[in-house]
Amino acid sequence: MERKVRVRFAPSPTGPLHIGGVRTALYNYLFAKKHGGDFLLRIEDTDQTRFVPGAEEYIIEAFDWLGIKFDEGQGIGGDYGPYRQSDRKPMYKEYADKLIETCWAYYAFDSPEELDNVRKEFEKEKKNFQYDCNTRAALKNSLSLSKEETNTLLENNTPYVIRFKFPKDTEIIIHDLIRGEVRMNSNLLDDKVLYKSDGMPTYHLANIVDDHLMKISHVIRGEEWLPSCPLHVMLYKAFGWEDTMPKFAHLPLLLKPEGNGKLSKRDGDRLGFPVFPLEWQDPISKETSSGYRETGYFPEAVINILALLGWNSGTEQEIFTLEELIDIFTIERISKSGAKFDLEKAKWFNHQYFQLMPNDKIAEEYLKILKEKGFNASLEFAEKVVSLVKERCSFVQEIWDQSSFFFLRPETYDQKIIKKRWKEDTPQRLGEIADILNSITDFSVETTDQAVHSFIEKNELNMGQIMNCLRLSIVGEGKGPNLFEIICLIGKEETLERINTAIETIGKNE
């Protein structure tokens, strides 16, 4: 009796994939895998005017990066293809005709201009126009016209659309897996266009026909579809497909971090976080939008972030692998209200994954950044640097900020530290330390550490006084990892030169 779980992600290739769309896909994927079902990708490109070249490829690449695999669909294959609606174009007419035959739909010949005028007329009277059971009798369609008139128009190739004929006084009940029962009265619903004058179906028709033909068991989609769900339910009824109608689940929307409204591309750019999985360049305006991948987020982190934005496991665990998510995911635990994206928490998630990443992997990426900056280093050296500064970073890109002193001598010295720590006898003390370091043949963290410490003890000096100034001369600032780790990595020669430069520079030109 129970049908095999088959769910789909059905984006429209009108641009890069929005992060909210990624979350929708993720929930579909988790649900499918949890139940041993299929997850398919269907491209909904019925609006030819909004087609954006490259968008389809972008979508496929994005999921590839995220590690979310489709079982079938566009670019993958499968038994229910084609999976691009424009390639399925010829079949939709047949279904639209079927609805005309059974009187669930009708031809409408009103031109867009005519409808515009009607709308304006209504507005004048402060009323709202809707093409529905109350107004259709007064408009130009196969319901108001005689059979002969309709046929003549059809024979003359008059442009027409096919509209759904909503029955009067019918209560439509939707059983939403997240929201429970949602009721709507058919009198308030308008006769949506199912088939456009350009020979393409609208979303509503194509969606229902394809979901049926592709044996979709559950429709998990954004909340923006809830208002048109009654139409979809009625379409299943009209086609006589009620017994295999998928179950619906309408997801809450992703909201912008501050203020109100849906998360949009603009917000990301303004607030400094990506709204798209991958970087995207608009083919026409050439404007680029940042992506999670390019910003340094790990796919695992993005999945983790998205999974917890509108869903929770009911436990206190927050870091999940994809496998764990599949295991624990349930639609029942999806929340009903919209979720605001939180940049700080997103960074924290990435930080967690960053710490788990092996040093050599990070070092490889780090070497690329170094190369861009004009530095060549061995993988071994890069790996050591990474191991020293990794825990204070959330992204590979941050490694440089924490480690530039390994490659660049300080050009300036932090004035605050100078003021606080640089005393009259500091140059002399540093000179003595330089001599001691110079005398060490086995230049290691242990030997240098011990040498400097015993020097401080022997002269009864203050630890902070010496160490901070020594750090200042090496790094130029009062921060960074263990000083002896640093001097050993840059080597004796470099260390001594930096100390000498500091002695000569600091306090001289003020």
Q: Which of the residues 361 through 380 are near RNA (CB under 7 A)?
A: none
Which 424-463 positions form the footprint of RNA (CB under 7 A)? Answer: 463
Q: Please confirm, yes or no, whether 265 is among the known catalytic residues.
A: yes
By C-beta, is 217 or 402 nearer to RNA? 402
- Out of 335, 378, 415, 444, the residue judged to bind RNA by CB under 7 A: 335
Interaction of residue 484 with RNA, rule CB under 7 A: yes
Q: What is the contact mask toward RNA in residues 296 to 315, using x (rule: CB under 7 A)?
A: ------------xxxxx-x-
Q: Which residues pair with 39 in a beta bridge?
A: 7
| Alpha helices in 319-425, H assignment, sequence order | 322-328, 343-356, 359-372, 379-389, 396-403, 415-421
By C-beta, is 3 or 175 nearer to RNA? 175
By C-beta, is 227 or 491 nearer to RNA? 227
Interaction of residue 471 with RNA, rule CB under 7 A: yes
For residue 83, what are the contacts with CB-CB under 8 A and spacing of at least 6?
Answer: 40, 41, 42, 43, 72, 73, 74, 75, 76
> In 3D, which of 387, 382, 384 has the Cα closest to residue 368?
382
Q: Output the six-digit token pair for 45.
A: 């490109």
Interaction of residue 32 with RNA, rule CB under 7 A: no
CB of 185 to RNA, least distance (A): 7
CB of 244 to RNA, least distance (A): 22
> In 3D, which of 149, 143, 141, 201 has the Cα closest to residue 168?
143
Burial environment of residue 32 by CB neighbours within 10 A (0 to 12, 13 to 18, 19 or more): buried
- Out of 198, 242, 380, 425, the residue judged to bind RNA by CB under 7 A: 198
CB of 202 to RNA, least distance (A): 4
* Distance (Å, whole) CA 213 – CA 4: 14
Which 173-192 positions form the footprint of RNA (CB under 7 A)? Answer: 179-180, 182-184, 188, 190
Are the C-beta atoms of 7 and 40 separated by less than 8 Å?
yes
Catalytic residue, from 256, 265, 347, 390: name it: 265
Q: Which residues pair with 193 in a beta bridge?
A: 163
Burial environment of residue 373 by CB neighbours within 10 A (0 to 12, 13 to 18, 19 or more): exposed
Parallel/antiparallel/unpaired status of strands 280-281 and 161-164: unpaired
- Out of 7, 59, 200, 214, the residue judged to bind RNA by CB under 7 A: 200
Q: What is the DSSP string of 245-288?
A: PPEEEEEPPEEPSSSSSB--HHHHHHHTS-SBSS-EE-TTT--E
By C-beta, is 128 or 509 nearer to RNA? 128
Interaction of residue 144 with RNA, rule CB under 7 A: no
CB of 374 to RNA, least distance (A): 25
Q: Which residues pair with 340 in a beta bridge?
A: 255
Stretch that binds RNA, among 56-64, 281-289, 373-381, 476-484 (CB under 7 A): 476-484
- Out of 86, 144, 186, 228, the residue judged to bind RNA by CB under 7 A: 228
Interaction of residue 121 with RNA, rule CB under 7 A: no
Which 46-85 positions form the footprint of RNA (CB under 7 A)? Answer: 46-47, 49-50
Interaction of residue 93 with RNA, rule CB under 7 A: no
> So which residues are the catalytic ones?
265
